[in-house]
């Protein structure tokens, strides 16, 4: 019965996009059904690869008619199983990867309009081609797609100065649950005409609509950069340094990453060509970068002075200032080595919490104490976009210890609940930049008030009453 | 019948807030029922002045029970009749002005949480009291309230660097249509956990919920300022100057206002102590300001150099650089003299449109041509937050000409339709920062697609199914 209906559905989809863009062979569909980490997979009736927003709209209409869900997917680099289909084989995986047009470049307006399937790196280089900066930056940028970045409100390393994906979007084109296309592709800095549909779709992870094109803000490219790799005695000193740097440099402070000593050490140990820029071990490292278009400012001198004063105040133990572009790139290579190092170090459970910047020290102290108390043999590695209050707290176990520590129980779930509880108790959030997907639906239910959950359901009901769009994601079971 | 029910309602409200905070006398209620301009008024059964979010919630519950609408009001400085009740005397005017608590100041987190009734000036000075900047700034700041600023997504003169009110909000507390209180008062830079309720309430003008408290972003205070009053030959030159300044100064460019020669001239003529900083008349004026926390930069020198180069390139005819804080304040006094000058000049119809920055020149040329063609004797005055693409285009008539020009027709409506049509045809918006209120509901219906209007209605239906909150505002009659 399902098979017959599936055959009819596939035929209709082929009539829209052409047979070559409807994939059913196991080898063809597997990269779309398996998530980026390779731990989780789902399945759908087929993968369909439309070439335009109109084709996306027709696919949604067809699926809605057949009562089959649509699972939209960009670069499939998400870490919360939001971009893969559910188990069970229902519905259609809709890949946006063929929507690649650059629709408009408007240099005097500092804006561009591009389709959802461009990779983030392609968006960055398109901006650079007109001497502009598109500042969203994250380690998956060669693969992730701008539609997915916007649908998930991606964060990354440029947030301190330029904001999240949400802050970089001027307008959207969205295919709605009934297969109509909403053209909200304005390129305006100000538009106060009705409810903010744009921000409702951003971060909704494809559950309210499918983003097919985006209008983006562009910025002038910095003319000067200065970076430093800084050893600090503790988190409180790092917080003091951040406050000093923000007061001194404001928008010129574009990077302020905090890395725990053990985290840095395993990067140096596991990642080829990652060598410590400092001779000694430090309990915490701050990687800070300044950038500015002002030609009369001397960023390196300002940074040197600021670091010397901070050292006198006891905030800084040692620092290496990048003496060349190459050394600055080396700092970034170390920073981007976190995932690889953690993967090699053991079985790790990473977290993506946010707390007010003033509470990062409290949160870390509590998390460390509880981890030690409850999980003997656990190792802790911390990297934080400190200027955003975003802490990636990773608890790692040597694989041979896991069975011993937690016989028959889900160790990861226990660790995660503990970390999330602590973050929320510090006035924080259990999810800073990675989103909810399937992975954190239970946390959403645990930490959100019934009032907030009710509003989420009312909004889903209002915009996708039949539940066509990315079911099983974001919203918990009621 | 209505009177009986009204008496019961008033008694219930008095039981919540105390009799002294329920106003019914004509003299007491008039300031709440008449709008700021003094042109428009409405009426309600009473004015109620709760002292807490819980009291606001109880009032909403009582009104919902009685089937009476609630009209929330902050400082009542809006210009789109969004903050006054409707004609007809139904419902309750709910003033937020007693909600004045400063709930939290967190300097290391650069955030503060305050109640809705603080004036914008009080919010600014509270931030200054901990050596921080709250950058929202507009001419009504001594009277308007932060709850209203957020509910209407206010703009003003700081948008170029710091964004609209929307961009300055970290969290909200909102009383919903059923009288529950949503506590969304996070102070996080990153929080990707579900749908963006915050931005849905911001700019909804009290039609989806009543904002009772807000968590706000704070910034370091600038250490240096440099400003210039610049004569330019035409709008295209102003656009070239803006592009140059943005590339050169990026976030240090905090003001870029464009003022037409005739607009500047009537300010000098009508506003006491407003004297032209430049000896000659120029067709267009740019008022630009730089600010920066960088101590090694020399803003005045950079501005002087940039202006000299722009003059060589033909973009600038003459410029006065502020030589003192007092002269900088004089520039601002001229800029803020626009409303007064226009009021004195004649019967004026002002507009609040936005277009892409690259289209400002086109828009102005078309608007001038059409105004001249269709409205003999019309005078045109233009002031623009050019860096935001926001143009306040004012068409003024000498009162004795009005009857002659447009016998028996609504002249203002004709002018407005023409200007709005032209802005929208340039890829723009008919409403940049003032909102919709009652005044622009017809424009909303005229310019929004049926798809967008349908979503607006679905959202209203989802969050306020009984239509309790600020009816007759924003959404057009269906």
For residue A143 the two structure tokens come to: 């693969």
Best mutation target among A189, A357, A361 (most B Cβ atoms within 10 Å) is: A189
Looking at the complex, report in whole angstroms how far the Cα of residue A326 sits from the nearest Cα belonging to chain B.
25
Looking at the complex, report in whole angstroms how far the Cα of residue A48 sits from the nearest Cα belonging to chain B.
26
Cβ contact (<8 Å) for A428 and B298? no
Chain A residues whose beta carbon lies within 8 Å of the beta carbon of residue B354 = 188-191
Chain A residues whose beta carbon lies within 8 Å of the beta carbon of residue B183 = 449
The span from the CA of B274 to the CA of A425, in Å, is 55
Of B384, B257, B218, B245, the C-alpha closest to B305 is: B245
Tens digit of pLDDT for each residue in B192-240?
Answer: 999 999 999 999 999 999 999 999 999 999 888 999 999 999 999 999 9
Cβ contact (<8 Å) for B153 and A192? yes
Chain B residues whose beta carbon lies within 8 Å of the beta carbon of residue A180 = 451
For residue A196 the two structure tokens come to: 């903010």
Predicted confidence band of residue B306 (pLDDT cuts 50, 70, 90): very high
Cβ contact (<8 Å) for A195 and B456? yes
Name the packing angle between helices A235-249 and A360-374 (round to 10°): 160
Cβ contact (<8 Å) for B455 and A432? no
The span from the CA of B263 to the CA of B348, in Å, is 12
Three-state SS across B46-75? EEECCCCHHHHHHHHHHHHHHCCCEEEECC
Q: Which member of A108, A292, A463 has the closest CB to residue B357?
A: A108
Which residue of chain A has the CA closest to B448? Answer: A193
How many DSSP H helices and E strands does chain A contain? 17, 19
The span from the CA of A453 to the CA of A456, in Å, is 5
Which residue of chain A has the CA closest to B440? Answer: A193
Tens digit of pLDDT for each residue in B66-78?
Answer: 999 999 999 999 9
Which residue of chain B has the CA closest to A220? Answer: B247
Cβ contact (<8 Å) for B187 and A427? yes
pLDDT at A402: 75
Predicted confidence band of residue B401 (pLDDT cuts 50, 70, 90): confident
Is residue A340 within 8 A of residue A271, CB to CB? The reply is: yes
Is residue A307 within 8 A of residue A230, CB to CB? The reply is: yes
Chain A residues whose beta carbon lies within 8 Å of the beta carbon of residue B433 = 190, 192
The span from the CA of B58 to the CA of B163, in Å, is 34
Is residue A134 within 8 A of residue A216, CB to CB? The reply is: yes
Which residue of chain A has the CA closest to B162? Answer: A251
User: Judging by beta carbons within 10 Å of its beta carbon (0-12, 13-18, 19+), is residue B167 exposed, middle or buried?
Assistant: middle
Is residue A419 within 8 A of residue A351, CB to CB? The reply is: yes
In this complex, how many residue pairs, one in chain A and one in chain B, have their CB atoms less than 8 Å apart? Answer: 282
Best mutation target among A53, A79, A194 (most B Cβ atoms within 10 Å) is: A194
Cβ contact (<8 Å) for A294 and B220? no
Cβ contact (<8 Å) for B432 and A192? yes
Cβ contact (<8 Å) for A109 and B357? yes
Neighbours of B439 (CB within 10 A): 19
Helix (H, G, I), strand (E, B) or coil at A28: helix
Cβ contact (<8 Å) for B193 and A444? yes
Looking at the complex, report in whole angstroms how far the Cα of residue A40 sits from the nearest Cα belonging to chain B.
21
Cβ contact (<8 Å) for B219 and A250? yes
Query: Is residue A4 within a helix (H) or strand (E), and if so which, with residue range?
Result: helix A2-17
The span from the CA of B473 to the CA of B243, in Å, is 38
Chain A residues whose beta carbon lies within 8 Å of the beta carbon of residue B356 = 106, 109, 111, 187-188
Chain B residues whose beta carbon lies within 8 Å of the beta carbon of residue A246 = 110, 220
Tens digit of pLDDT for each residue in B420-452?
Answer: 999 999 999 999 999 999 999 999 999 999 999
Threshold 0.95, pTM exceeds? yes
Q: Which member of B182, B200, B243 has the closest CB to residue A195?
A: B200
First and final C-alpha spacing in chain A: 29
Looking at the DSSP assignment, which residues form a beta bridge with residue B258? B286, B384
| Dihedral angle computed from the Cα positions of residues B466, B468, B470 and B472, in that order, rounded to the nearest 10 degrees | 40
Cβ contact (<8 Å) for A301 and B296? yes
The span from the CA of B143 to the CA of B149, in Å, is 11
Q: Which member of A153, A199, A389 has the closest CB to residue B189?
A: A389
Q: Which member of A108, A195, A429 has the closest CB to residue B204?
A: A195
Q: Which member of B159, B219, B251 has the closest CB to residue A189?
A: B159
Percent pLDDT > 90 in chain B is 88
Helix (H, G, I), strand (E, B) or coil at A48: strand
Which residue of chain A has the CA closest to B359? Answer: A109
Residue B153: pLDDT over 60 = yes
Is residue B288 within 8 A of residue B328, CB to CB? The reply is: no
Q: Determine the Cα angle at B177 with ends B175 and B181, to 5°.
A: 25
The span from the CA of B166 to the CA of B149, in Å, is 9
pLDDT at A222: 87
Is residue A384 within 8 A of residue A242, CB to CB? The reply is: no
| pLDDT (tens place) for every residue of chain A, 478 residues total | 455 578 899 999 999 999 999 999 999 999 999 998 888 999 999 999 999 999 999 999 999 999 999 999 999 999 999 999 999 999 999 999 999 999 999 999 999 999 999 999 999 999 999 999 999 999 899 999 999 999 999 999 899 999 999 999 999 999 999 999 999 999 999 999 999 999 999 999 999 999 999 999 999 988 889 999 999 999 999 999 999 999 889 899 999 999 999 999 999 999 998 999 999 999 999 999 999 877 777 899 999 999 999 999 999 999 999 988 889 999 999 999 999 999 999 999 999 999 999 999 999 999 999 999 999 899 999 999 999 999 999 999 998 877 776 666 789 999 999 999 999 999 999 999 999 999 999 999 999 999 999 999 999 999 999 999 999 999 998 7
Chain A residues whose beta carbon lies within 8 Å of the beta carbon of residue B252 = 251, 293-294
The span from the CA of B229 to the CA of B318, in Å, is 9
Is residue B353 within 8 A of residue B432, CB to CB? The reply is: yes
The span from the CA of B255 to the CA of B252, in Å, is 9
Best mutation target among B78, B184, B195, B445 (most A Cβ atoms within 10 Å) is: B195
Cβ contact (<8 Å) for B452 and A197? yes
Neighbours of A369 (CB within 10 A): 11
Predicted confidence band of residue B1 (pLDDT cuts 50, 70, 90): very low
Q: Which member of B107, B428, B443 has the closest CB to residue A188?
A: B428
Looking at the complex, report in whole angstroms how far the Cα of residue A143 sits from the nearest Cα belonging to chain B.
21
- Entry field: residues in chain B: 478
Tens digit of pLDDT for each residue in B278-304?
Answer: 999 999 999 999 998 777 778 999 999
Give Cα separations from A443 to A425, A430, A474, B113, B198 (angstroms). Answer: 14, 7, 10, 26, 20
For residue B265 the two structure tokens come to: 């001239």
Residues B373-397, mean pLDDT to the nearest whole number: 96
Which residue of chain B has the CA closest to A451? Answer: B182
Looking at the complex, report in whole angstroms how far the Cα of residue A463 sits from the nearest Cα belonging to chain B.
7
The span from the CA of B28 to the CA of B43, in Å, is 12
Cβ contact (<8 Å) for B459 and A459? yes
């Amino acid at each position: 019965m399902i098979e017959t209906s599936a055959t009819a559905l596939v035929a209709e989809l082929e009539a829209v996009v052409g047979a070559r863009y409807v994939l059913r062979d196991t080898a063809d569909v597997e990269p779309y059904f398996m998530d980026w980490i390779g731990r989780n997979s789902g399945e759908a009736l087929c993968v369909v690869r439309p070439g335009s927003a109109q084709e996306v709209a027709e696919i949604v209409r067809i699926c809605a008619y057949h009562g089959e869900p649509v699972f939209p997917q960009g670069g499939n680099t998400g870490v919360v199983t939001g971009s893969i289909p559910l188990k069970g084989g229902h519905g259609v995986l809709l890949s946006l990867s063929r929507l690649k047009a650059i629709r408009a470049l408007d240099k005097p307006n500092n804006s561009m309009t591009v389709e959802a399937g461009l990779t983030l790196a392609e968006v960055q280089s398109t901006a650079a081609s007109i001497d502009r900066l598109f500042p969203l930056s994250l380690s998956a940028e060669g693969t992730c797609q701008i539609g997915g970045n916007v649908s998930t409100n991606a964060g990354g390393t440029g947030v301190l100065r330029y904001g999240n994906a949400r802050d970089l979007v001027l307008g959207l084109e969205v295919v709605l649950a009934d297969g109509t296309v909403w053209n909200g592709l304005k390129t305006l800095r100000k538009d106060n005409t009705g409810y903010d549909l744009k921000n409702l779709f951003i971060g909704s992870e494809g559950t309210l609509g499918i983003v097919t094109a985006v209008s983006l803000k562009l910025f002038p490219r910095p003319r000067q950069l200065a970076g430093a790799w800084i050893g600090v005695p503790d988190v409180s000193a790092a917080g003091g340094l951040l406050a000093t740097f923000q007061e001194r440099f404001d928008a010129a402070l574009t990077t302020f990453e905090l890395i725990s000593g053990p985290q840095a050490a395993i990067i140096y140990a596991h990642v080829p060509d990652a060598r410590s820029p400092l001779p000694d071990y430090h309990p915490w490292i701050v990687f800070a970068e300044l950038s500015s278009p002002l030609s009369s400012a001397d960023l390196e001198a300002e940074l040197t002075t600021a670091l010397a004063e901070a050292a006198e105040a006891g905030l800084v133990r040692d620092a290496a200032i990048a003496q060349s572009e190459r050394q600055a790139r080396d700092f970034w290579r170390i920073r981007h080595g976190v995932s690889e190092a953690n993967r090699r170090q053991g079985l790790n459970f990473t977290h993506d919490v946010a707390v007010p910047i003033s509470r990062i020290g409290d949160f870390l102290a509590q998390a460390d104490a509880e981890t030690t108390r409850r999980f003997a043999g656990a190792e802790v590695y911390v990297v934080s976009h400190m200027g955003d209050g975003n802490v990636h707290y990773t608890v790692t176990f040597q694989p041979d210890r896991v069975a011993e520590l937690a016989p028959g129980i889900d160790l990861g779930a226990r660790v995660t609940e503990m970390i999330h509880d602590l973050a929320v108790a510090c006035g924080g959030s259990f999810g800073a930049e990675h989103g909810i997907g399937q992975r954190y639906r239970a946390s959403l239910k645990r930490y959100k008030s019934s009032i907030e959950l009710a509003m989420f359901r009312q909004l889903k009901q209002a915009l996708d009453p039949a539940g066509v769009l990315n079911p099983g994601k974001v919203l918990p079971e009621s």
